[in-house]
């Protein structure tokens, strides 16, 4: 951060954000002081116009881009000054540039063009001759005459001189930043993206529907762009952008060539045409393809972040002893029991499916575990042998009249967690398969706490995640996770170090120290004890403490999001007022009395009304399964239920109890036009009534519809 916000940066930030100058200054000052986005969003609302964490993240991106833009402007101005190319007109153009792309367009004519036809022509002294031709004041005969004075050792003929000068004029046309912007917009608005099968194209392969694509650049869907570019990388397709070049050439004649029959206008036109076809269009077409990919990647990253947010907001199943089941055939079904706090209790392996189908001993083992640990719920992974395992459990519950429910849980990423360093650290003496069963149980108990241990890219909630910029993707997912973990809050006495590491101001080293300290003292009883943890200084404490929770601690305030800085205000409120009866007009008066900003005061009151409140409780609870079908049992037109597991640009994948999720295509979501599936659907949404629209037994695919 910079200490003194210069006027150019301030102007950019005011233009590109909706914040006032005072708010911009406040946000930058807070960031400069080392405050995190979650802390600012939660505890400094009065200074930020009540900006959300999403708005603050966007502001931070704009700020960083604006800094980069201004820095590049300074660099270019310095270079041009040093080379005596800078004049007031160029400087005005540079200072007016709103994007890095336009800025680089302005700078392009001044860059060294190494080993090119243009640089050779300039080196051979033909620039003045190019000026003569481009002035269009001379006839062809006069041009030929003037060419003689530019002949030398390298330029031996009149034709050589005219050719070299034409190369310079072509480059000038291609380098003109206003021309670039016009052609760039033409390609975007009127260009057509076309694909063609390569010699190695597989007509029955993954990209069979992209063999002959012809779509306007402006309207092509992002997911199709990523699919096409992946096919290009795999040598399945070639891609190009087509544009009506004749239209551009007519405009060149109309607007750039004066109507002077006796001048060298035809020579200039041919140079401009060469500059367009040989230099400008190829580079701009490559640029537009790159921009299409970047736009598509950004949309994919945004969608991934939205899906992750919804997944992490899945409500927890509190106060339950849970049996996690990781189904399998030959290797059996792995069982793991966790208690109400998520601590591991026991594990077994049973064989209720083919080839053994040992129903008797499998039932006996589960009944013993239920009795011994007073199990309330069962979580079944939705992978291999899931449907057979669920049928077995359903029958077991009915035959024994058990007061137990079971749910099918997505097990995507469970195997990744099982073999991860954190899993080995948490359960060093357990087999990798048992760790998988624990993960499945933990996902039902507290999805956020379980899922933050798994790399988001392994959660199956995105599209083309391996085709996008990995650094950008990781940053987005990190920010989404950080913001949500802090919004929900974390129980310091039961959280893993991984979950704690997402808390505002807490590094991974600090989080490990917190867990280590907790193990020594058995339990934190007050938030103040956090200051005794190695590495936790005043700043880290300030940023983190509000997002931590202590259940059954010394103070009820420690089980709220009220910051210790505001405990005095909270205690006065508790002592002097009946909090549930406070009216808006009273809050304004109390705010002045206690010198506490109104927004902060309202947050304190809400926390006092609902200590220990979990924001995830606002969302639909997990629905426990009743029965399950095989794909062979399904018929088109059947009405079933399901759970949305993943949302893409082209539709949603719904868990209907089969090994593979079924596709609900965007065209089948609603009778009305839907721009994106996320307008109607969300991750883990329970769909009570879905129609089976198609069944492909060979490929084990099911199509769904919400149209009835």
My answer on whether 457 and 474 are in the same domain is: no
**Rg, the chain, Cα only:** 33
At residue 261 the predicted structure's pLDDT band, cuts being 50, 70 and 90, is: low
Picking from 123-127, 547-551, 657-661, which range would have the lowest pLDDT averaged per residue? 657-661
Closest CA to 556 of 615, 485, 604, 520: 604
Q: What is the CATH number of the domain that holds 25?
A: 1.10.10.650
Asked which of 435, 461, 487 is the last residue of a domain, the reply is: 461
Domain-located, residue 197: no
Q: Give the pTM.
A: 0.88
What the block records as the tokens of 585 is 């007009």
Asked which of 78, 113, 137 is the last residue of a domain, the reply is: 78
- On average, the pLDDT of the chain sits at 93
Domain-located, residue 107: no
My answer on whether 41 and 11 are in the same domain is: yes
pLDDT in tens, 435-489: 999 999 999 999 999 999 998 888 989 888 888 999 999 999 999 999 999 999 9
Burial profile 281-317: b = 16 or more Cβ within 10 angstroms, e = fewer: beebbeebbebbbeebbbbbbebbbbbbbbbbbbbbb
Domain-located, residue 87: no
My answer on whether 641 and 684 are in the same domain is: yes
Q: What is the CATH number of the domain that holds 439?
A: 3.30.420.140
Domain-located, residue 88: no
Three-class SS state of 326? strand
Q: What is the mean pLDDT of residues 35-49?
A: 97
Asked which of 527, 543, 560 is the last residue of a domain, the reply is: 560
Please give the share of the chain, as a percent, with pLDDT higher than 70. Answer: 97
My answer on whether 338 and 417 are in the same domain is: yes
Separation CA 125–CA 118 (nearest Å): 11
- Predicted confidence at residue 541, as pLDDT, reads 98
Q: Going by DSSP bridges, is the β-strand pair 701-705/333-338 parallel, antiparallel, or unpaired?
A: unpaired
Question: For the chain, what is the domain count?
Answer: 4
Residue 692: pLDDT over 70: yes
Residue 91: pLDDT over 90: yes
- Distances from the Cα of 653 to the Cαs of 17, 480, 640, in angstroms? 36, 22, 14
- Predicted confidence at residue 626, as pLDDT, reads 53
Domain-located, residue 135: no
Q: At what angle do helices 21-32 and 53-82 cross, to 10 degrees?
A: 90
- Predicted confidence at residue 114, as pLDDT, reads 61
- Predicted confidence at residue 632, as pLDDT, reads 84
Residue 408 sits at φ, ψ, to 5 deg, of -85, 125
My answer on whether 412 and 434 are in the same domain is: yes
Domain-located, residue 395: yes
- Predicted confidence at residue 1, as pLDDT, reads 40
- Predicted confidence at residue 8, as pLDDT, reads 86
Closest CA to 299 of 676, 685, 683, 680: 676
Residue 591: pLDDT over 60: yes
Separation CA 215–CA 212 (nearest Å): 10
Picking from 230-234, 381-385, 543-547, which range would have the lowest pLDDT averaged per residue? 381-385
Residue 557: pLDDT over 70: yes
Q: What is the CATH number of the domain that holds 517?
A: 1.10.150.310
My answer on whether 450 and 491 are in the same domain is: no
My answer on whether 495 and 456 are in the same domain is: no
Q: What is the mean pLDDT of residues 146-163?
A: 96
Domain-located, residue 32: yes
My answer on whether 399 and 451 are in the same domain is: yes
- Predicted confidence at residue 102, as pLDDT, reads 95
Domain-located, residue 490: yes
Which residues in 282-412 belong to E strands, given as ranges? 322-326, 333-338, 344-350, 377-381, 405-409
- Predicted confidence at residue 629, as pLDDT, reads 59
My answer on whether 492 and 454 are in the same domain is: no
My answer on whether 329 and 406 are in the same domain is: yes
- Distances from the Cα of 288 to the Cαs of 192, 272, 571, in angstroms? 11, 21, 60
What the block records as the tokens of 170 is 């072509």
Q: What is the mean pLDDT of residues 212-236?
A: 96
Burial of 54 (0-12, 13-18, 19+ CB in 10 A): middle
Residue 259: pLDDT over 90: no
At residue 628 the predicted structure's pLDDT band, cuts being 50, 70 and 90, is: low
My answer on whether 447 and 495 are in the same domain is: no
At residue 2 the predicted structure's pLDDT band, cuts being 50, 70 and 90, is: very low
Given a contact cutoff of 8 angstroms between Cβ atoms, the answer to whether 376 and 321 are in contact is: yes
My answer on whether 361 and 430 are in the same domain is: yes
Domain range for 547 is 470-560
């Amino acid at each position: 951060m910079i200490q003194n916000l210069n006027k150019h940066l301030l102007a950019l930030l005011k233009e590109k954000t909706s914040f006032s100058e005072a708010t911009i200054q406040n946000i930058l000052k807070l960031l400069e002081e080392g405050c995190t986005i979650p802390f600012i969003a939660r505890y400094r609302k009065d200074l930020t116009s009540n900006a959300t964490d999403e708005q603050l993240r966007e502001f931070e991106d704009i700020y960083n881009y604006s800094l980069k833009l201004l820095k590049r402007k300074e660099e270019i101005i310095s270079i041009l000054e040093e080379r005596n190319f800078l004049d007031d007109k160029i400087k005005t153009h540079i200072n007016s540039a709103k994007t890095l792309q336009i800025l680089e367009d302005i700078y392009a004519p001044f860059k060294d063009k190494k080993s090119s036809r243009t640089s050779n022509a300039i080196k051979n002294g033909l620039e003045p001759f190019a000026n003569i031709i481009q002035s269009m004041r001379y006839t062809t005969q006069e041009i030929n005459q003037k060419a003689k004075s530019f002949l030398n050792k390298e330029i031996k003929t009149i034709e050589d001189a005219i050719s070299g000068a034409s190369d310079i004029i072509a480059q000038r046309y291609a380098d003109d930043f206003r021309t670039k912007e016009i052609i760039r917009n033409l390609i975007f608005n009127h260009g057509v993206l076309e694909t063609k099968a390569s010699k190695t194209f597989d007509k029955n392969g993954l990209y069979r529907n992209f063999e002959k694509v012809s779509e306007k650049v402006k309207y092509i869907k992002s997911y199709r762009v990523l699919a096409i570019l992946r096919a290009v990388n795999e040598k399945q397709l070639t891609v190009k952008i087509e544009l009506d070049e004749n239209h551009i050439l007519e405009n060149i004649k109309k607007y750039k060539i004066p109507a002077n029959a006796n001048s060298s206008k035809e020579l200039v036109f041919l140079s401009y045409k060469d500059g367009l076809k040989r230099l400008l269009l190829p580079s701009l077409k490559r640029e537009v393809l790159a921009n299409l990919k970047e736009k598509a990647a950004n949309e994919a990253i945004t969608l991934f972040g939205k899906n992750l947010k919804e997944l992490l907001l899945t409500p927890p199943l509190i106060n339950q002893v849970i049996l996690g089941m990781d189904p399998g055939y030959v290797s059996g079904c792995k069982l793991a029991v966790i208690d109400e706090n998520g601590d591991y209790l026991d594990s077994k392996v049973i064989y209720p499916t083919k080839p053994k189908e040992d129903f008797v001993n499998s039932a006996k083992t589960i009944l013993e575990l239920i009795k011994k640990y007073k199990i309330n719920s069962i979580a079944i992974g939705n992978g291999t042998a899931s449907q057979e395992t669920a049928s077995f459990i359903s029958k077991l519950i009915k035959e024994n009249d058990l007061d137990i429910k079971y749910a099918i849980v997505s097990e995507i990423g469970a195997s990744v967690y099982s073999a991860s360093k954190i899993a080995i650290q948490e359960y060093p003496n357990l087999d990798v398969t048992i760790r998988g069963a624990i993960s499945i149980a933990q996902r039902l108990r507290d999805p956020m706490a379980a899922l933050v241990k798994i790399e988001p890219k392994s959660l199956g909630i995105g599209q083309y995640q391996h085709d996008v910029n990995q650094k950008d993707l990781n940053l987005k997912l990190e920010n989404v996770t950080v913001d949500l973990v802090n919004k929900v809050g974390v129980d310091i006495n039961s959280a893993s170090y991984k979950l704690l590491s997402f808390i505002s101001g807490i590094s991974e080293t600090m989080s490990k120290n917190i867990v280590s300290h907790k193990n020594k003292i058995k339990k934190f009883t007050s938030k103040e004890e956090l200051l005794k943890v190695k590495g936790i200084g005043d700043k880290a404490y300030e940023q983190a403490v509000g997002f931590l929770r202590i259940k059954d601690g010394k103070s009820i305030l420690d089980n709220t999001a009220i910051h210790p800085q505001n405990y005095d205000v909270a205690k006065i409120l508790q002592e002097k007022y009946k909090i549930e009866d406070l009216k808006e007009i009273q809050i304004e008066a109390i705010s002045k009395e206690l010198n506490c900003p109104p927004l902060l005061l309202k947050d304190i009151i809400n926390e006092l009304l609902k200590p220990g409140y979990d924001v995830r409780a606002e969302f639909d609870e997990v629905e426990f399964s009743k029965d399950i079908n095989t794909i062979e049992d399904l018929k088109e037109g059947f009405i079933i239920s399901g759970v949305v597991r993943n949302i893409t640009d082209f539709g949603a994948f719904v868990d209907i109890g089969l090994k593979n999720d079924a596709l609900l295509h965007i065209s089948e979501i609603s009778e009305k036009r839907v721009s994106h599936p996320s307008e109607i659907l969300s991750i883990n949404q329970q769909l009570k009534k879905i129609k089976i629209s198609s069944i492909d037994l060979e490929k084990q695919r099911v199509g769904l519809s919400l149209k009835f």
